[in-house]
A and B are shown apart, each in its own frame.
Chain A
Amino acid sequence: MSDAGGGADLGAFAELFGLEPPPVPDDAPAPRRGLFRRLREGIAASQAQPISPQLAGIYQSKLVSDATWDDLEEALVLADCGMPATMDIVAALRAEADAGRVTSGDSLARALADEITRRLAPEPARIPLGDDPTVILVVGVNGSGKTTTIGKLAHRLTELGQKVVIGAGDTFRAAAVEQLAVWADRAGVDIVKQAPGADPGAVAFDAVAAGRARSADVVIIDTAGRLQTQHNLMEELRKVHGVTGKAMEGAPHHVLLVIDCTTGQNGLSQARLFSEAVPVSGLVLTKFDGVARGGIVLAIERELGIPVAMIGVGESIDDLQPFDARAFAEAIFAPDAAV
C-alpha cells in the first residue's frame, strides 16, 4: 500500500487526539479522500463480495419504487445493521422520498450516505490526550484484534511525537505477551509485562506507574479477550479498571472496545455488556478491508450511542485510521458508479 496518504492520515489522527497537526505537504490529498481511497483499495485487493448486487441497479434507476425499498432493506441487513436500525434508516429515506427530496436512484445513494453519516457521526469522535499520562484501556472479545490494534495505535502516536508505554495485560492467552512485544518492538515503544498467568490488574497498575515514572504521554493497556457473557471475566475487567484508577486518579481516561467487522448482531450484546462493566468511550472497528461490512456499529449507535473512534483497514502497521462516517458509508454502500 502506498504512503501517499500518510501525512493526511496523520493529520486526521492529530485531530482525533487533539494534538497539533503535523505539517502536511501541499500536494497531499484531503484527509477524507485519503481514508476513502484506503478503504476502497483494501476492499478491491481482497476480492470482497459486493454488499448487494441490486444496489448498483437501484442507484442507476431513474425511479424509486416499492422494490427499491425492499432491495435497500436487504442491503442494510446484509451489512449487519440489524433489523431495528435497518427499519429506521429505510423509514427515514422513505420520508425523504415522500417529501420529494429523493426521486432517483442517484439521489438515493447520496441520501443513504447522508443518513448513515448523520447517525454515526453527528460530530467526529475525539480521544483527547492531555493528562500525564493519558491512560487508554483496550477491551474486547477473543480474536477481535485488540493486540494488533494496540500495536498500530502505539505506532501512530509515536509518529505524532508521543511517548507511549504499553501494558501487556493479556496474561491468559498463550503467547499473547510475546505477540504484543513484537508489535511494541515494531512501533519502538516500551512494554510493561509480567509472567503468564499474572494478575492483569497488577500489570495495569505497573504500566501506569511505569508511564508516570518515565514521563510517558500515553499508556495503552491490553486486556485478555473475553466473551461478554463470562461473568467472572467481566468482573475481572471491572477490577482492572478499578486498579488503574488507583494507580492514577481519573485513569483510564478512555476505554476502547474493539469489534471485528465481521461481527453480526452479537456485537450489540458485546457493546451492551462491556459498557455495563467498564465505561466504554469509543469503538474500534477492525478488519474492515476485505469484507467491507460493520453495519453493527449502526445498531450499537442506535441503542447505546457509543461513537466509532477508529477503523482498521489493513494488516500493515499504518493501516489504522480515524473513523470517518461518510467514507465508511460510501465504502460499504456506494458502488463505484455512484462515487
Chain B
Amino acid sequence: MFDALTDKLQGVFSGLKGRGKLTESDIDKAMRAIRLSLLEADVSLPVVKQLTTAIKERATGDEVMSSITPDQQVVKIVDEELTRLMGGTNVGLAMAPSPPTVILMAGLQGSGKTTHTAKLARLLAAEGRAPLMVACDVRRPAAMEQLAVLGDQIGVPVHREEGATDPVAVARDGIAAAKRAGRDVVLIDTAGRLTIDAEMMDELVAIRDAVRPTSVILVVDAMTGQTAVDVAVAFQEAVQFDGAILSKLDGDARGGAALSVRAVTGKPILFVGTGEKVDALEAFHPDRMASRILGMGDVLSLIEKAQQNVDEVDAKRIEEKMRGGNLTLDDFLDQLRQVRKMGPIGQLMGMIPGLGQAGKLKDVQVDERRIDRVEAIISSMTLSERARPDIINGSRRRRIAEGSGTTVQEVNQLLAQFKQMQKLMKRIGKGGLPSMLGA
C-alpha cells in the first residue's frame, strides 16, 4: 500500500540528508517532489495544494530551519499532516441502539460493492453478529446471483427476489425478513452505474428514505484517479454517506483516493479491502497509513495479524525447540501454516520496515505455489520421517515425490534447506545471532 509514494518521499529526503541546514530552495525542491509524488499517488489536485501549503508553511518555520536535523523535521511534519488529513484515528462501524442495524452500500459500478458487502458481512458474523444481506442490484446481470453465491461461501443468508425490478421494495422486504429471522445487521447491496448519474442517485436516495439506514457506506476503488473527489462529492451531496471502504488496496502505487475522500468530504475511511478472498478486509488506521507512506513499515498491522492467527502456546513451544535445534519437519509445517493463515507472504513482507522500501522487495516474488509444494512434500512424509529426516533415503524420497506430485529434486532441495535451517537455529540458540548480524 502506498509503496510508490513512500519510495518518492524517501528519495526526496535522502537527497537532503547529511547536509545539515536546509535553505529555502531546498524546501522548494522538497515541496515540488512531494507535490509530484502525491499527484502520482492520485491524490486529488486541490488536496495536494492544500497539503503542500500546510507542509511548506511549517517547513519554513523556525522548528525546521534552525534544526540540526532538518530532514527529520520535514519528515515529521509530512507525517503529521498526512495523518491529520486522513482523520487522525481509526473510526469503527456505528451500530443501531436497537437492532437491526441497517447498512446501505453505495458506489460506482466495478468499485467492488457486492464483494465488499459480503466481506463486511463476514467480518460482522466473525464478531458474533447475525447479518443478513439484501440483493438490491436489480440492474447488473447476475449481480443478485453473485451475492447469493458469496452468501453461501460465508454462511450468511441473502434476501433476494428473483425477477424483482423495484429495489426499494426489495430493501423493505429484506429488513422485514431480517426482523422475522432475528438477524441484527442488514447489509443492502445496491446497483452501481457506470457513471455518476441522476437516475442512480435517485434510486439510492429512494432506498435510503425507505429504510433509514444506520450507516451509508461508500465503496471507492483505490485505483481511482482525480475523479475520486467528484465521486465522493456527488455521493456526499446526494445521500450523505457516513464512511467509506477503500477497495483493491492490495495492489501497487495507489491509495491517493483515501486522502482525497477524507479531505474533501470529512467522512472517515472505515475499512480497506486487501485481497480477493472474502476475509480480506481490514480496519483503516490513518496513523499507520501515514507511517507506511513515510517508509516506516506497518509493524502494528503485522503484529495484529499474528495475534489473530497464531496460537501463543504453540509459538512458545516451537521457539524452545528452535533454540535447541530440535525443530522437526512437523513443527516446520505447523509454522508454515500459521504464517500462511496471516495472508500472502509477499503482502506480509511489505509490512516489515525496510523491506517495503525501494528496490528491496521489487525483485522478490513470493510464489505461493512453491510453498504449496513444500506443504505437499511434508504432508507426504510419515510421522517418523518428519521427526527424523535423516532416515529419508533414496526410495523414501521417490515415494514422497510421487505422493506429493513433485520431483525427487524438489524433495532433496527441501531437505537440504531444512538441514541448513536447523544448523542456523542451533547457532542462534547458542547466542550466535549478534555475530551473524555483524554487530
Contacts and interface: CB of A to CB of B under 8 A. Distances in A.
Interface string B107-123: 01111100000000000
A11 B334 CA distance: 63
Contacts of A178: 141-142, 145-146
Interface in B416-435: none
Contacts of A230: 250-251, 276
Contacts of A315: 193-194
Interface stretch (A92-100, A262-270, A301-309): A262-270
Interface string B142-184: 1101111110010000000000000000000000000000000
Contacts of B194: 145, 286-287, 289-290, 312, 314-315
Contacts of A77: 39, 45, 226
B133 to A, nearest CB: 12
Interface stretch (A33-41, A157-165, A167-175): A167-175
Contacts of A30: none
A82 B45 CA distance: 11
B368 A265 contact: no
Contacts of A142: 110, 112, 248, 276
B95 interface: no
Best-surrounded residue of A79, A83, A265 (most CB of chain B within 10 A)? A265
Interface residues of A, number: 54
B233 to A, nearest CB: 8
B254 A264 contact: yes
B270 to A, nearest CB: 20
A262 B251 contact: no
Contacts of B197: 45-47, 290
Nearest to B225: A264
A11 B41 CA distance: 40
Contact of B369 (A42, A141, A232, A286): A232
A142 B42 CA distance: 19
A231 B231 contact: no
A260 interface: yes
Given A264-B226, A266-B251, A174 B145 contact: yes
A77 to B, nearest CB: 6
B423 to A, nearest CB: 30
Contact of B149 (A42, A174, A289, A291): A174
A228 B253 CA distance: 11
B314 interface: no
A227 B224 CA distance: 14
A238 to B, nearest CB: 13
A264 B149 contact: no
A145 B221 CA distance: 13
Given A46-B196, A74-B45, A293-B225, 18 more contacts: A48-B195, A77-B226, A82-B40, A83-B36, A174-B147, A174-B150, A178-B146, A179-B145, A196-B149, A232-B368, A235-B369, A260-B221, A264-B224, A264-B228, A264-B256, A266-B42, A266-B223, A291-B227
Interface of A: 42, 45-49, 74, 77-80, 82-83, 141-145, 172-176, 178-179, 181-183, 196, 227-232, 235, 260, 262-267, 269, 286-287, 289-291, 293, 296, 312, 314-315
Interface of B: 36, 39-42, 45, 108-112, 140-143, 145-150, 153, 193-198, 221, 223-228, 230-231, 248, 250-254, 256-257, 276, 346, 365-369
16 contacts: A47-B197, A141-B248, A141-B251, A142-B112, A142-B276, A175-B145, A179-B143, A229-B251, A230-B276, A231-B346, A231-B366, A265-B41, A265-B42, A266-B225, A269-B251, A287-B195
